[in-house]
Structure 1
């Protein structure tokens, strides 16, 4: 029977072992209880819809538009690819500027500025009567809109990290909704005087004196511009500011105001209180998501109360989280689990790493994320551009000879299916597989999506469907559907990459989140700029010269897509490192 001293020694030893087994960086219980900021999140998603609508609305009618502006004998694929590329090309050159401005001036003003630019530029595009007018309008659309990187930063700051998978997958959902709405508007509302002469021809009820004959593509573009304008108004009144340093400054200013009111004489407070409190309540609610009290003042404790489970406004809870988590957590490296890649990541990012643009670009882990993002974006946008030209060109040279309305319907249905998949499948797969494994799986699907689509032409040629593809041609449509379904699941890579990029903030002592997301988006936008022109031209040449019987371009794209798979094998599992306590989870830029 052990003695009292032995029992005490054993107890002490057990306690010591228990302490050794404790996680180095336990997850705060408070963070686990934070509610999802539903309403400000919804506002942010509404604002996000503008870019995919503006980007994709021209796809169903871009080839007929170019044929009208440049002549039927011109190289339609080349010029259409140029116009499609300009949006992302100009956006690529301005992303760092807009991301940096959002780190300085706040997320909200930059988002509203980008939406205003989208509204103006898409309306100008619809009024195009010359090729160069269309080029300038498309350039403006990209240059004035750097919202995608800013939205990602605002989302990371607004939503608790445990909700990030569903939050960032929602960005892809918004993209899916946008590319569903955009092609539908472009396909069914372009050339309204020809499609719906009873309503829109000259002299008809909505003919407007022949406006739609003069500007056959203005109707869908004007509707897209109106949607963007409504989003500006909606965001102006309901979008909270999320940049931590601005939220913190406003909180301090509000607290100083409260203190000055408390030190004033009772008579002066009574005289000034109603007007001043009303003004403070309006300003705080408008900018920071505070919940005004009954007297009209914004309570500095309302966010904390909401987060603890009261019935306070959820936006206040999100704001309180931003206010209280300003200081970055300390990061500890574990002596165990010395995986080569993860150890290399830690060695490449010492505690004092400033997170500057130069240090970000020179970090191998960030480089791999940017490279794989570039491959994913290049292949996806290349496939989109080739698919549009593939649907337009005659069957005998390698296309499908579809009508614009058929093209719009296919793209819209693919976008709708993608939206449902992002909602119902991505969060579940992310939890089961982990972000990195899901990312690699998505990249592996790309080559199969590419090589499946031209099989539709093989079937169409075999059945001599030179006049077009009817709805009863199951074999042709089967390959079109299969390719687009594979592309839907491959698109999970975008949401996965967003999560991986924001998780990478944990590897740096300080980093401006807007700048980090802008770098990632630059890699994507650069490829989206190169992709449409490059692969539209390649497919056009392939069709004209009948290279590999009209299928060479598809083979080239499939080979390129394998590069992203290989590059992804060197990415470290930062998510696993966070869960094991080897690095601290943080949202950088809080003290920016």
Structure 2
């Protein structure tokens, strides 16, 4: 009878390699279950805005919140800078007729939104595979390049192509929201998510101001000024480059599975090394068996076959250990029922309607404001920019001073419904805003420059407050704290 050898023991122990990869213990508090987070009938109080105690609240990760705020503010500044001058820009394209400005402004704006819609799921999937930070850096860099290109467009089709490219490479908004959910837990998530629309409000101030002030009132494509819309786009690109540097230096990876990977620069180097070896060698180094492993050693009992098997097992370990580490290993997967449950599908459906109407209004408002009466109100790019900046400032005041108390009294669900109704009211009132001058003979609610700005300011105020309330309520209803 053959006596067990040390090689047999090692052979048995080597089977652990085929079970799983080592998984580090969690480093954050995550989303711990709470007795106060659910009612007896299963309703999530954190989701619907119940009163919770502040005794066990975790401190906010201020440093990472500031970094995410800078990323969001830079991106919103750049994206919102296009609105004030886009109608004027489209009207100066040689292939656009006078009565078609509104149609083509909508086409340019919708091309960005449609392209962004087609790749949002891809960027989310990619951030789950390689980490949040690489996706944020890639999106920021490519978006900055698109803004530089947009400053050099001279025709309608060039503008559409650049906007499509900008939408395809821009998926940072969803990734930033995901990062925000991952660096917080149930106890402080509602406070963190309230500040995200505040940043969007700041971007609603800085973006229109940049776009409105850096474009001349009657800018046209001439030999003396062949690129009249280059300045705001270069400023937007510079803002995004600063954002890129800040993210590279200070943004921490929030995906749990990717935190123990080498730094991003090392992972990129590993990727190039892997590709180079794969392309330049018939048998890359990470697939070769070391020479030492090829030589079987004999024990005193002469059982060489068993040692040979053991050597091959060890060589498999060495081979896999030499593969460059580039991707995180995922240990958990959500089931279909966890993702596509009834509440989530209802929220996503209403959010689709909200965003469709919100983006449509944001695209149509500059056309309405810039067009000549009776279709529009004949405002300049500067006036359009300042009107949008006023709306952005109002949303900040509302979000910081009023919305939190309103949400505590009404709850997230009721607040969401009220804000959706507010959006509808703003849409109905917009066509009835008065005109600048009485002598035109056009009738709105009233006439005169003062009445125009009072009525326009009221409509923009209702629309902006309702939009930011919808966004915040939706994030809190469907956010990670709800599951």
Q: Give me the whole-angstrom Cα distance separating, in 1, the residues matched to 2:163 and 2:477.
A: 31
How far the C-alpha of 1:187 sits from its partner, in A, is: 0.9
Alignment correspondent of 1:49: 73
Q: Give me the whole-angstrom Cα distance separating, in 1, the residues matched to 2:215 and 2:37.
A: 60
Q: Give me the whole-angstrom Cα distance separating, in 2, the residues matched to 1:474 and 1:504.
A: 46
Structure 1 contact 452–482 (Cα < 8 Å) conserved: no
Q: Give me the whole-angstrom Cα distance separating, in 2, the residues matched to 1:131 and 1:383.
A: 21
Q: Give me the whole-angstrom Cα distance separating, in 1, the residues matched to 2:362 and 2:36.
A: 46
Deviations, residues 122-167 of structure 1 (Å, cap 9, x unaligned): 1110111222221121111111111111111110111232222232
TM-score by length of 1: 0.57
Alignment correspondent of 1:538: none
The alpha-carbon distance between structure 1 residues 461 and 39, as it changes in their structure 2 partners (threshold 3 A), is: same
Alignment correspondent of 2:253: 241
2:55 aligned with 1:62: no
The alpha-carbon distance between structure 1 residues 363 and 159, as it changes in their structure 2 partners (threshold 3 A), is: closer
2:157 aligned with 1:181: no
Q: Give me the whole-angstrom Cα distance separating, in 1, the residues matched to 2:358 and 2:59.
A: 35
2:108 aligned with 1:131: no
Deviations, residues 26-84 of structure 1 (Å, cap 9, x unaligned): 99999925211111110011011233223221111111111111344351111111111
Moved more, 403-412 or 46-55: 46-55
Structure 2 contact 437–449 (Cα < 8 Å) conserved: no
Q: Give me the whole-angstrom Cα distance separating, in 1, the residues matched to 2:476 and 2:378.
A: 40
Structure 2: any 5+ residue segments left out of the alignment?
1-34, 40-45, 47-51, 264-329
Q: Give me the whole-angstrom Cα distance separating, in 2, the residues matched to 1:409 and 1:98.
A: 33
Q: Give me the whole-angstrom Cα distance separating, in 1, the residues matched to 2:92 and 2:430.
A: 28
Residue 454 of structure 1: SS of its match in structure 2?
helix
Structure 2 contact 136–172 (Cα < 8 Å) conserved: yes
Moved more, 149-158 or 52-61: 52-61
Alignment correspondent of 2:269: none
Q: Give me the whole-angstrom Cα distance separating, in 2, the residues matched to 1:219 and 1:245.
A: 42
TM-score by length of 2: 0.69
How far the C-alpha of 1:415 sits from its partner, in A, is: 1.1
Structure 1 or 2: larger helix share?
Answer: 1
Q: Give me the whole-angstrom Cα distance separating, in 2, the residues matched to 1:425 and 1:327.
A: 41
2:248 aligned with 1:221: no
Alignment correspondent of 1:98: 123
Q: Give me the whole-angstrom Cα distance separating, in 1, the residues matched to 2:136 and 2:351.
A: 23
2:399 to 419, 422, 427: 422
2:466 aligned with 1:490: yes
How far the C-alpha of 1:390 sits from its partner, in A, is: 1.2
How far the C-alpha of 1:414 sits from its partner, in A, is: 0.9
Q: Give me the whole-angstrom Cα distance separating, in 1, the residues matched to 2:358 and 2:129.
A: 33
Of structures 1 and 2, the larger Rg is shown by: 2
Alignment correspondent of 1:382: 360
2:13 aligned with 1:37: no
Q: Give me the whole-angstrom Cα distance separating, in 1, the residues matched to 2:37 and 2:470.
A: 31
Structure 1: any 5+ residue segments left out of the alignment?
1-21, 196-201, 203-208, 252-325, 329-353, 507-592
The alpha-carbon distance between structure 1 residues 31 and 40, as it changes in their structure 2 partners (threshold 3 A), is: farther
2:431 aligned with 1:454: yes
Deviations, residues 266-302 of structure 1 (Å, cap 9, x unaligned): xxxxxxxxxxxxxxxxxxxxxxxxxxxxxxxxxxxxx
Q: Give me the whole-angstrom Cα distance separating, in 2, the residues matched to 1:228 and 1:433.
A: 38
How far the C-alpha of 1:474 sits from its partner, in A, is: 2.4
2:143 aligned with 1:118: yes
Structure 1 contact 50–118 (Cα < 8 Å) conserved: no
